[in-house]
Amino acid sequence: GENVEQHPSTLSVQEGDSAVIKCTYSDSASNYFPWYKQELGKRPQLIIDIRSNVGEKKDQRIAVTLNKTAKHFSLHITETQPEDSAVYFCAVSGGGADGLTFGKGTHLIIQP
């Protein structure tokens, strides 16, 4: 089955700096790559996603890049703010009905 590795497990950055979280996956047939933000005690919320026919996607301060050859994708957050502090999860899917495989999460801490 699919295997998703996410790094780092904890990331501390100064407010205003950029943060980058990376994930690798094993199944070359995977074609959907979402990122989720989870605040303490709450459900994961989709913040951005990318499909395998696109190399990069941006939404304001958030961007995701995909390298299908190397089987890795990354989340980039620029100009970080205190409200960006949360746990971020990457996930992978083959695009069908059989669910998402998640990474173990990154605890992002924004230092004031």
Partner 1 sequence: SQTIHQWPATLVQPVGSPLSLECTVEGTSNPNLYWYRQAAGRGLQLLFYSVGIGQISSEVPQNLSASRPQDRQFILSSKKLLLSDSGFYLCAWSVGRGPGGGVFGSGTRLTVV
Closest C-alpha to 92, from 34, 12, 53:
34
State which of positions 4-33 bind partner 1 (CB under 8 A): 6, 32
Nearer to partner 1, 13 or 100 (CB): 100
Segment contacting partner 1 (CB under 8 A): 10-18, 39-47, 52-60, 78-86? 39-47
Q: Considering CB under 8 A, how many residues would be counted as binding partner 1?
A: 24
Nearer to partner 1, 14 or 45 (CB): 45
**Structure-block tokens of residue 66:** 């995909």
Give exposure, 60-89, as e/b (b: 16+ Cβ within 10 Å). eebbbbbeeeeebbbbbbeebeeebbbbbb
* 62 contacts partner 1 (rule: CB under 8 A): no
Interstrand relation of 10-14 and 106-111 (parallel, antiparallel or unpaired): parallel
In a 13 Å sphere around the CA of 68, the CA atoms on its Cβ side amount to 13
Q: How far is the CB of 111 from partner 1 (least distance, A)?
A: 21
Binding site for partner 1 (CB under 8 A): 6, 32, 34, 41-46, 49, 89, 91, 93, 95-105
